[in-house]
Amino acid sequence: MLRGAYPNIDIKALSKSVDKSESKKAMPFINGLKRRLDAGEPPHDVLERKLAFDELATLRAMIPGLKQTVNKCVAVEIVSVAEGGQTGTVILEDGSEGEAKSELPPNAAQAEPGSPTFAFENVEGLPVR
């Protein structure tokens, strides 16, 4: 096991190299990676950027339950957020890409693989099912 294989990661020095505008997102991510490495998780697993599951398929599978659970929920829209969180693409029920979105809620910028964000809003003109 590689426990302690990366004890010399200097978080303070690393934080100085991160742009201030990205620091709020980058530092928790970097600290999380370091904790996983320090706990003995294999570096290959920690540094692998691909998720162990299909996140979009999982979110699509949640739609019926969400509609049933949330009172009077008439529409659920999954948006794959582009880097920076300002724009994204609607993911259709079959998993294909739909229309582009240019005005996303502010919390969209916090979305990252494996950790989606959620926004709820009132919509008018859609029938309640």
Contacts for 101-110: CB closer than 8 Å, 24+ residues apart: 104/79, 108/79, 108/81, 109/81, 109/84, 109/85, 110/25, 110/85
What is the distance between the alpha carbons of residues 117 and 63, in angstroms, rounded to a whole number?
A: 15
CA atoms within 13 A on the CB side of 32: 8
Q: Which residues, 6 or more positions from 32, have their beta carbon under 8 angstroms from its beta carbon? A: none
Question: What residues in the chain have per-residue pLDDT under 50?
Answer: 1-4
Please indicate, yes or no, whether the overall pTM of this predicted structure exceeds 0.75. no
DSSP 21: G
Return the SS3 of 79.
strand
For the chain, what are the domain ranges? 11-47, 55-110
8 A C-beta contact, residue 51 and residue 57: no
Q: What is the pLDDT of residues 30-40, one digit of tens each?
A: 888 888 888 98
Q: Which pLDDT score, from 0 to 100, does residue 48 have?
A: 80
What is the distance between the alpha carbons of residues 96 and 86, in angstroms, rounded to a whole number?
A: 20
